[in-house]
Amino acid sequence: MNNKILIGFSTGFLWHTYPRASKEIIEICKNMGCKAIALHCPIEEIHLMNELKPSDLRDFDFVSFHSPCGTENPDILDIVQEFHQKLQFDAVTIHPNEIKNWSDLKSYNIPFSVENMDNRKKVGRTLESMKELMSQNEYMVTLDINHCYVNDPTLKLAEDLWNEFKDRISHFHLSGYEGRHDPLLVTNQTEFIDFVKGKNKPIIIESVCQDLDQAKKEFDYITGYLK
């Protein structure tokens, strides 16, 4: 694998077995050899973030945080700001459909990264929508290949978003699709991995795995394909 590529899991990959953003799941990611990680937890588990220290993340070269649903609530962003001050994220992914007033974000010292949306959302689904959204700010972009696929199975949308925002893309979200964020070793959608290969951006695997054994196989499958 290209040494410049940083890859690892979002901490929700075993959400039905381990608490998301817990020290335990972070240790699992580290032991698998992940050099990138995305802390991702729902509001009801947000207290786990208070237990984390910078030393818990020192083995990762890229650390992102996926802001929980409810970003439109200013209190959530206040909490994210506190986490960022303590843990120093490289990127904080936000969903554009949750932003009611983009000017509200300017008061925060947070490295926001706007994620393109799947076909269930009204904004952020198309190139035109993302261009309009991103013209309002100077934030980065989280390019989710799964979301591109559900809007355009040819992946031309992914290519268009890459060409438009390549200098602003903070990282990729990568997973297979059979109805949700499925393991790529199950869906065998190698075109998704082909797309991110060679683009030298951090890769966050968002596949939801059945158990730790499948997660290890998914990590080996993707990293092996990238070699």
Domains in the chain, CATH or no CATH each: 7-226 (3.20.20.150)
Summarised one tens digit per residue, pLDDT across range 7-62 is: 999 999 999 999 888 999 999 999 999 999 999 988 888 888 999 999 999 999 99
pLDDT digits (tens, 9 = 90+) for 144-199: 999 999 999 999 999 999 999 999 999 999 999 998 899 999 999 999 999 999 99
Is pLDDT at 3 greater than 60 in this prediction?
Answer: no
Q: How do residues 76-90 score in pLDDT, each as one tens digit?
A: 888 999 999 999 999
Please state, in angstroms and rounded to a whole number, the distance separating the CA atoms of residues 113 and 169.
8
pLDDT band at 66 (very low <50, low <70, confident <90, very high): very high
Q: What is the layout of strands, in order, in the sheet containing 91-94?
A: 7-9, 203-205, 169-174, 140-144, 112-115, 91-94, 62-66, 36-40
Q: How far is CA 227 from the centre of its chain?
A: 22
